[in-house]
Amino acid sequence: MAPILDVTDLRTVFHAEGKTIPAVDGVSFHIDKGETLCLVGESGSGKSVTSLSVMRLIPPPGEYAGGKILFEGEDLLRKTEKEMCAIRGNRIAMIYQEPMTSLNPLFTVGMQLRETLRKHQRLSAREAQARAVEMLGLVGIPDPGQRIREFPWQMSGGMRQRVMIAMGLCCRPRLLIADEPTTALDVTIQAQILDLMRRLKRELDMTILFITHDLGVVAEMADRVAVMYAGRIVEEAPVRVLFAKPRHPYTRGLMDCIPDPGRPRGQLHVISGVVPAPDRYPTGCRFHPRCPYARPLCAEEAPPMRKLGASSAACHFPLGTEAAS
């Protein structure tokens, strides 16, 4: 089966102060129909620029410097802006971390849902109203016929995120890109929203690209995981394989950072240092200044992506192999 989204060697750069800064630097991944791929990594690793690149929403001074983004076999990098407008919202939808940055506080949620439906689906006012109420019900908003008249600021954070999901799904997109959609929510609401997304994925037969820095969310949501670091994918694996046998030291480091109630107090693991800025990537393996397993070769040569059973990892000395010992 051909993947619904197939990204190959994507390069997205920004131009600033006479420099060309590679925010996404040769990223390749695919998502099969009906699958949830989680793109995981620390802030600044290039996850959001990757998702915005797929939507072709990179503003100047950013530009696409190479690669292909095949969505249902069509290269999105070759589409005109008019063609992309017909794809965004309709065939690919995106939901964001903070609903208040996407919902207009001056209009009721009903007006905003109807506007989206009329623009993308050319529904009549009556049809759009009926579909908007149906969508609010589908995402678990009680009494949707009433609440459709409310403004976003009259709703709680969890309800606003449900409205955002309704907006994203109202045109029944084939691919949903969810960029940290639960990060701003408290844990109980987060669990409800993740449950909701899993249910809607099943009911609407959706494919999801889920961006997160939270490995707990990855364990809940992912079929497969791509780990991103400093503008590149460094490991990719089915979720069970990744958690059972991480191959890249960065993935291992992220897992060690998950709080463990069994660990004595004061022993929270951290990965030393920070993700380098895109204009200061180190030579060789970009993780080498922070890697506890680094050897001289790591600073000299960038490791290629290598297949290791069900996983792939870009590391000269992948964990669990003879090379690491």
CB of 317 to ligand SF4, least distance (A): 4
Binding characters for ligand SF4, 244-273, by CB under 6 A (x = yes): ----xx------------------------
Q: Considering beta carbons, is residue 118 or 245 the nearer one to ligand SF4?
A: 245
Instruction: Compute the Cα dihedral for 19, 180, 225, 263 and give only its sign.
Output: positive
Query: Does residue 291 bind ligand SF4 (CB under 6 A)?
Result: yes
The residue range among 1-9, 134-142, 148-156, 291-299 that interacts with ligand SF4, by the rule CB under 6 A, is: 291-299
How many residues of this chain interact with ligand SF4, rule: CB under 6 A?
13
- Does 61 sit behind a cis peptide bond, omega within 30 degrees of 0 on the bond before it? yes
Among 281, 293, 320, 321, binds ligand SF4 (CB under 6 A): 293
Query: Does residue 232 bind ligand SF4 (CB under 6 A)?
Result: no
CB of 115 to ligand SF4, least distance (A): 47
The residue range among 89-97, 100-108, 177-185, 287-295 that interacts with ligand SF4, by the rule CB under 6 A, is: 287-295
Query: Does residue 151 bind ligand SF4 (CB under 6 A)?
Result: no
Burial class (CB in 10 A: 0-12, 13-18, 19+), 26: middle
The whole-angstrom separation of Cα 216 and Cα 135 is 28
First-to-last alpha carbon distance for the chain, in angstroms, is 38
The whole-angstrom separation of Cα 58 and Cα 104 is 22
CB of 163 to ligand SF4, least distance (A): 41
CB of 323 to ligand SF4, least distance (A): 9
Cα-based angle 87, 171, 64 (whole degrees, multiple of 5): 25
Query: Does residue 315 bind ligand SF4 (CB under 6 A)?
Result: yes
Q: Considering beta carbons, is residue 30 or 306 the nearer one to ligand SF4?
A: 306
The whole-angstrom separation of Cα 302 and Cα 290 is 15
Q: Where are the beta strands (DSSP E) in the chain?
A: 5-16, 19-31, 36-40, 62-71, 74-75, 92-95, 175-179, 207-212, 224-229, 232-238, 306-308, 311-313
Query: Does residue 71 bind ligand SF4 (CB under 6 A)?
Result: no
Query: Does residue 303 bind ligand SF4 (CB under 6 A)?
Result: yes
